[in-house]
A = this chain, B = another copy of it.
Amino acid sequence: MALSKKPVTGMKDILPQEMQVRDYVTGVIKETYAKFGFTPIETPCVENIANLSNKQGGENEKLIFKILKRGEKLNLETAQSEADLVDGGLRYDLTVPLVRFYSNNANSLPTPFKALQIGNVWRADRPQRGRYRQFMQCDIDILGEPSNLAEIELILATTTTLSKLGFRNFQIRINDRQILKAMASYAGFAEADYDQVFIILDKMDKIGADGVKRELMELGYSEETCDRYMVLFTQIEEADNGPAFIAQKLSDTLPQGVMTSFMEIIDSVKATKEDTFEIVFDPTLVRGMSYYTGTIFEIAMPEFGGSCGGGGRYDKMVGKFTGNDVPACGFSIGFERIILLLMERGFEVPGAPKKVAYLIEKGVEGERLSQIIAQAQEARQDGTQVLVVRMNKNKKFQKENLTKEGYTEFVDFYKESLKS
């Protein structure tokens, strides 16, 4: 009858100390995004297995926790493969469910629709330190807004939220898949090779410009093409205004309006004069998800090597469900990384109430107990947190432990006979 005390492999129990930080962060997120007109929605954690296996999820589709059919639908004897056994799966992100949600409920939703989702997702990844198989994602998305207002609002809502949480000196890096393509085209790469080229470009952070050039040449691209490509990045870096340089240099290749709109996003974000972050054009930003069609962006935090969230425009995804494309753009913040950063720096939740503990000696009962209960209830009216507990024999040790939990005031209640 002894059962397993541990959580399932790769998932974790969350203790009160961390939960209080998570609840606080969730509260700030909801409050701040609401000010930008984002409204919360929720979808079931379980999705039809067909929706999760539609090739939009890339590698994540290999990591699905699949759910066994139930009752008569499950026939073990005739089952030939896994697919015959399952009908659902736990979602591996919030984007596929959002698009399904939008397709299902579009008639009841405003245009543009600004959605906020905070929810768990599951991936059967190899367990490793700090990465879990169940984790929280936090996404905002705007559906039905073709103009760059979507990008501007998404970026500002996100940076405002991060600033409220106390983050400083972070960067929003921004690029556009159309800029990526135009640069590759200018250099002389064939369109069919773009994805392969971008995978290598994505390593710029780690292997540097020389490394990128070497790996491209190893794949058989000509030195001339590679040089033309790498020189562009140097020129952007040296230009006073990178986007303006690109707009002029690649004016033949880039679709009309792309750079004007792109620069408008950067200028509008800068116009708010927020001093907690900067927005920078990063021509090496690729972002893996194949569904992005336009602008892409990422949060870089000095305290945290690597990205702490990101997103972009994906105008072709709703069409996969409905047959009609709907302009869409989203930004996901790395909820778990933010919690990790806050916990590591010993973050204390602001505005915590006064914490008082009533210690009641054993033997205090009847009417006297009722009075104490009523007194505690009254003290709570003004916002005080009151813990009512029995007094231990070792009262000093008990108070020490309560102090560790944040209790700063103690009231002792003894048996009447002792008091008088």
Contact = CB atoms under 8 A, between A and B. Distances in A.
Interface of A: 1-8, 11-16, 19-20, 22-23, 27, 30, 34-37, 39-48, 50-51, 54, 65-68, 70, 74, 76, 79, 81-82, 85-88, 90, 100-101, 103-105, 108-110, 112, 114, 120, 122, 124, 134, 145, 147, 149, 152-153, 156, 160, 260, 264, 267-274, 320-323, 353, 355, 357, 360, 362, 365-367, 369-371, 373-374, 377, 380, 383-390, 401-402, 405
A74 B86 CA distance: 13
A269 B388 CA distance: 14
Main secondary structure of the interface of A (DSSP, over half): mixed
A365 B42 CA distance: 34
Nearest to A6: B104
B104 A5 contact: yes
A76 B74 contact: no
Contact of A377 (B13, B40, B156, B357): B156
25 contacts: A2-B321, A3-B50, A3-B320, A3-B321, A6-B104, A15-B108, A15-B109, A16-B40, A19-B40, A35-B383, A36-B387, A36-B388, A37-B387, A37-B388, A45-B45, A66-B70, A67-B68, A74-B82, A76-B82, A145-B389, A152-B373, A156-B373, A268-B370, A269-B373, A272-B374
Work out how many copies of this chain go into the complex: 2
A20 B115 CA distance: 12
Contact of A321 (B5, B54, B86, B383): B5
